[in-house]
A and B are shown apart, each in its own frame.
Chain A
Amino acid sequence: MDLNISNMPTTDQTLDEIISLAAAHFKVAREKLSPDADFFKTLGIDSLQTLDLLTRLENHFHVELPDYELQGVSDFRTLASRIQARL
């Protein structure tokens, strides 16, 4: 049976999309955003902007991310794994 899972992005693709989205929205050079760096510091965002980013990511990936699942998450790689788990 063909499960047709070929359209499912890989975690690396998801990570790449998250970084691109964050760079474009918060107007930060993409090369400054490392997958493992603390994005609160590199993006310079507060909790309100974090909520904004969360909503943009949910809208972009068409997923629902309960905010308590993101507690303590501060790097793009972990964020990508949380989103990937809901795709």
Chain B
Amino acid sequence: MNPSATSTREREALSWSVKDGVIELALHREPCNEIGSVALESLEAFISELPDLQRNSHALIIHSEMKAGFCAGADLRELYKRSQAMEKTAAISGVRNFLERIHRVLNQIDAAPLTTIAAVHGVTFGGGFELALACDLIIADKMARFCFPELRLGLIPGFGGIPRLKRDLGNAVVRDLLLTGRSFNATKAQQIGLVSQVVGEGEALRAARATATQLGKFDRATAIAAKQFIKPIPYEELRREIDIFCELFTKPAVESGLRKFVESTDAQPYLP
């Protein structure tokens, strides 16, 4: 394969292309790239091709084509609808299966032998935040907003958010973000060490491309060795997170929290 060639693959929730050794994964599912069964299948399709793609690539950029933001997290409407349509045991089993699958996807992005960049703008909430956290670098538009709202639903983040946040930040900061469920902007995210660059509105992808070009100047084997040395994957904690999530999912608070969200008349009820 010619490393400078451009190719594009399309799936329902996303598309990807490769040019000059940089893979670009564009999320494009309305309204804000909510991760439900369709998005998960699309992500799995991408991941299945990643081993081939990364042979001739040194960087992966994940970004969103949706105006509202990078990703609003798990598709809570689908989660509620499916769990209502099933027996409790089947619903929990379904949730565990979904979590196992999304963890496989995010673990592969996390450990991919190339440098990964999340170029984020707007809403970067819950599972969307967790997708960004799986990447090596986060470059944020100054209008990006991050949040772990799961406690409002009686849950904890389930896509690997807590172990990955703990890997990168101090525990006091993690507790603040998790236990208050408050959202915070890109400047704050940079202050706490989460975001590597804050750029102007609409500039995140351009900045990510410039960064990816810079990364291409270095010896790839050295970059991979450096990444493996400084970015261990917290597999044990990730497993434990799935267990805790599934335990909590049986509680009545979750059903009422999800119902409140789903029955909201607002199209995107992000505020508590």
Interface residues of A (CB under 8 A from B): 46-48, 50-52, 54-56, 58-59, 64, 66-68, 71
What are 12 A-B interface contacts by the 8 Å CB criterion?
A46-B266, A46-B267, A46-B268, A48-B123, A51-B123, A52-B122, A55-B185, A59-B187, A64-B185, A66-B180, A67-B183, A68-B182
User: Is chain A's interface secondary structure helix, strand, loop, or mixed overall?
Assistant: helix
Measured in the bound complex, the distance between the Cα atoms of B267 and A66 in whole Å is 22
Which residues of A are found within 8 Å of B270, using beta-carbon distances? 47-48, 51
Measured in the bound complex, the distance between the Cα atoms of B122 and A55 in whole Å is 9
Measured in the bound complex, the distance between the Cα atoms of B266 and A67 in whole Å is 17
Asked if B235 is an interface residue, CB under 8 A from chain A, the answer is no
A46, A50, A55, A66: the one contacting B182 at CB < 8 Å is: A66
Q: How large is the interface on B (under 10, 10 to 19, 20 to 34, 35 or more residues)?
A: 20 to 34
A41 to chain B, nearest CB (A): 14
Asked if B272 is an interface residue, CB under 8 A from chain A, the answer is yes
Which residues of B are found within 8 Å of A59, using beta-carbon distances? 142-143, 185, 187
A47, A50, A58: the one contacting B187 at CB < 8 Å is: A58
CB of B143 within 8 A of CB of A55, answer yes
Which residues of A are found within 8 Å of B122, using beta-carbon distances? 52
**Known contacts A47-B271, A59-B187; can you find 6 more A-B pairs with CB under 8 A?**
A47-B270, A54-B145, A55-B142, A67-B182, A67-B271, A68-B180
User: Is chain B's interface secondary structure helix, strand, loop, or mixed overall?
Assistant: loop
B30 to chain A, nearest CB (A): 13
A interface footprint on B206-232 (CB within 8 Å = 1, 0 otherwise) = 000000000000000000000000000
Which residue from chain A places its CB closest to the CB of B32 in the assembled complex? A48
A55, A58, A64, A71: the one contacting B271 at CB < 8 Å is: A71
Once A46-B267, A51-B145, A55-B143 are accepted as A-B contacts, the answer to whether A67 and B272 lie under 8 Å apart by CB is: yes
Which residues of B are found within 8 Å of A46, using beta-carbon distances? 266-268
B260 to chain A, nearest CB (A): 14
Measured in the bound complex, the distance between the Cα atoms of B123 and A71 in whole Å is 18
Measured in the bound complex, the distance between the Cα atoms of B187 and A50 in whole Å is 18
Which residues of A are found within 8 Å of B188, using beta-carbon distances? 64
B51 to chain A, nearest CB (A): 37
CB of B185 within 8 A of CB of A47, answer no
Which residue from chain A places its CB closest to the CB of B142 in the assembled complex? A59
CB of B68 within 8 A of CB of A48, answer yes
Asked if B193 is an interface residue, CB under 8 A from chain A, the answer is no
A interface footprint on B113-148 (CB within 8 Å = 1, 0 otherwise) = 000000000110000000000000000001101000
Asked if B170 is an interface residue, CB under 8 A from chain A, the answer is no
Which residues of B are found within 8 Å of A64, using beta-carbon distances? 184-185, 188
Once A55-B143, A59-B142 are accepted as A-B contacts, the answer to whether A47 and B266 lie under 8 Å apart by CB is: yes
CB of B266 within 8 A of CB of A58, answer no
CB of A71 within 8 A of CB of B272, answer yes
Measured in the bound complex, the distance between the Cα atoms of B271 and A68 in whole Å is 8
Asked if B269 is an interface residue, CB under 8 A from chain A, the answer is yes
Measured in the bound complex, the distance between the Cα atoms of B32 and A47 in whole Å is 14
By Cβ-Cβ distance, the 8 closest A-B pairs, closest first, are: A66-B182, A48-B268, A47-B271, A55-B185, A47-B266, A47-B270, A58-B185, A67-B183
Find residues 214-272 in chain B having any chain A CB closer than 8 Å to their own CB. Answer: 266-272
